[in-house]
Structure 1
């Protein structure tokens, strides 16, 4: 049995991963900004991160899943859209929030015999796939990909493996009803990717179904 911490575990892919892992016998610490059934965490808030760190002091975490994120600029237009505050809020959640979560829980990960960090990015992070639009979300997910790649380099000396993943186009509030796959399929694929992650594959950028994604 392994212990997972999943940020943003109260809905969508996070909730599906939580349920799958618990059902197979793993221990899951799920976080949410404001939900009575989950550990309170606003990933954008350093004091909230510090409070979580204090609450979990001395507890081993085998896999940190950085899942919490936002897609605020859906439907924005180049002429007059994409306001500055939207950029700030998106990067705070999708990039800074990932870094702060890793930073806060690094001592817990170092207690594990097989520590892993899984960063949920997106195919929209790829610079080789640039169909236009969604500039803020694409840029923030590209930054999360870059962050994960550099964390993989620096955490290698601590034997902490880091993987970055595209969860698929998923039927969630974020993905919409026209998406390709269910949250259950995405969650199952992602958990398989986490299981396979090792120091040999650290720094990988993979799809939910195990394909290497172009950077």
Structure 2
């Protein structure tokens, strides 16, 4: 299986890349760091960067595209201090627009696969049902990513590309903190199992890393 994982330089993305490679998948990871030795350069916020990597991989069918790149720029900031509009713009550029740009750039690569799949890493913090206040920018961006994924699922289903949206769990990463519930390896293994189970019949699903359904 050919897998492309965005934001694979750290955290869940890095763990997904390692887990996929360990099970003998041909997995490619990306990073914004153009000087990285082993990862492919990709800035998901930049259409030109997306187009450049798509051209570089033009002859490679992609069986699974994982839109994992994400930021949590206001972490630790009080809810009444989020008046810097650039924080909003930068967060949405990566967490929402970046998903769209990546999906569109590699759609033709997915269509070259006999069993293509698109996976979007959102968060339980994007669930309207589980709204708990605070982290307004991040929550809004992950809710938008969920909405984008659900709509992509509708439009891509006739083209044979199922779309799944996933909460990776509260994971012990730089973003999730040391107080989180699970480690990156457990999250990655669970997510890969969810990706394996994704089909046109389940397209549009919003699931946890362990397979539990997430409320919208």
Q: TM-score, normalised by structure 1?
A: 0.98
Q: 1:178 to 1:153 in 2, by over 3 A?
A: same
Residues 42-57 of structure 1: matches in 2 within 5 Å? 42-57=43-58
Does the CA-based 8 Å contact 1:3-1:28 persist in structure 2? yes
Aligned length, in residue pairs: 214
- Equivalent runs, 1:1-215 vs 2, <5 Å: 2-34=1-33, 35-215=36-216
Q: TM-score, normalised by structure 2?
A: 0.97
Contact conserved, 1:190 with 1:208, CA < 8 A, in 2? yes
Gap regions ≥5 residues in structure 1:
none
Following TM superposition, the consecutive aligned residue runs of length 4 or more in structure 1 with deviations greater than 6 angstroms are none
Residue 68 of structure 1 aligns to a residue whose secondary structure is coil
Aligned-pair CA distance for 1:46: 1.0
RMSD: 0.8
Distance 2:138 2:153 in 1: 22
Residues 74-99 of structure 1, C-alpha deviation per residue, up to 9 Å, x if partnerless? 12223333410000000000000000
SS in 1 for 2:8: coil
User: What 5-or-longer segments of structure 2 have no aligned partner?
Assistant: none
SS state of the match for residue 190, structure 1? helix
